[in-house]
Amino acid sequence: MFKKSLLVLLCSFSAYAQAGFEVVTLGSKGGIQDGNLTAFLLKDSRDTNYITLDAGTVVNGLIVAEEKQAFKDIEIPKNSPYTNVGYVLREKIKGYLISHAHLDHLAGMIIASPDDSHKYIYGLPSVNETIAKTYFNWQAWPNFGNKGQGYQLGKYQYRDLSAQTWLPIKDTSLQVKALPLSHAGIESSAFVIKNNQQQIMVYLGDTGADSVEQSDHLNSLWSTLAPYIKNKQLKGIMIETSFTNKVPERSLYGHLTPKLLLEELAVLEYKAGGKGSLAGLPIVITHIKYSLLKDINPQAIIKQQLNDGNSLGVSFHFPAQGERFSL
């Protein structure tokens, strides 16, 4: 029985060995550390063009990633007028996937917009509407979009997403769907992303647990993902864990703790086939909140709490700003 269980576990881990996607961490934290707010670059491992998963920090994240040689494989044309950072921003990032319109998830895009190139902003209709009304409105910032208040500069074009239809991401080999999440009364998003090899990865913006939010959104997402796990197509999940277990549920404001994340992953395990069905699955932990308290390291505490409760056999990863990794 032990040998059989070990064989199943090894086979599960091997299903995730071949990378389908490449990620560069532009910002790994939730608030309040400006300069390191939630943002990731994503591309198919066989492609050369990126999209962003949220955009809390963009240019500063590109600078840190460049210093850590995350873009060493990108060939900058000798006749390019741009720095390496400028070239990646303008020529290699082909669009922004914005999960929700809180500043720590899109401030980097807004600040970079005057020197950015033309791109699409992909999001749920409610998210795109909020961006247009709240930020690109000639009051908070010039209107770099193609809709909204005042003269429309048209540098960015909004593309509304849904859970029903795969939408190709322009100038990449990726397609995306978006499912709603509940984040303390506002609509956030989970992006399900597919490459040409029919491999899947999932990125979640801020979300509370269904039990706390009185929602069914995570349950619906897990139902969507279960067939991909059974078919060995899911390469990884990027999901927030903002606070330690010490924070009471009434003070979470639409976020997860290690305890709540593990409870939600147990629901996914059940839907995906039961005990052992998530063994080896990469779970990338995002949006850990920066703390101003002395002698408190939230990431170390959250890491310990997740590992202590990990009866699922998943593989937790805690990305650092500037880091490049594969899923």
Question: What local confidence, expressed as pLDDT, does residue 154 receive?
Answer: 98
Residue 192 belongs to a domain: yes
Question: What local confidence, expressed as pLDDT, does residue 4 receive?
Answer: 47
Residue 144 belongs to a domain: yes
CA–CA separation, 126 and 115 (whole Å): 26
Residue 13 belongs to a domain: no
Burial class (CB in 10 A: 0-12, 13-18, 19+), 326: middle
Residue 207 belongs to a domain: yes
Question: What local confidence, expressed as pLDDT, does residue 19 receive?
Answer: 81
Question: What local confidence, expressed as pLDDT, does residue 6 receive?
Answer: 47
Residue 285 belongs to a domain: yes
Domain containing 241 — which CATH number?
3.60.15.10
Question: What local confidence, expressed as pLDDT, does residue 144 receive?
Answer: 98
CA–CA separation, 268 and 277 (whole Å): 9
Question: What local confidence, expressed as pLDDT, does residue 12 receive?
Answer: 53
For the chain, residues with pLDDT lower than 70 are: 1-15
Total tally of structural domains belonging to the chain: 1
Residue 27 belongs to a domain: yes
Residue 5 belongs to a domain: no
Question: What local confidence, expressed as pLDDT, does residue 13 receive?
Answer: 53
CB 237 within 8 A of CB 191: no
Residue 256 belongs to a domain: yes
Question: What local confidence, expressed as pLDDT, does residue 18 receive?
Answer: 79
For tokens 């491999």, name the residue. 199
Range of the domain at 319: 21-326
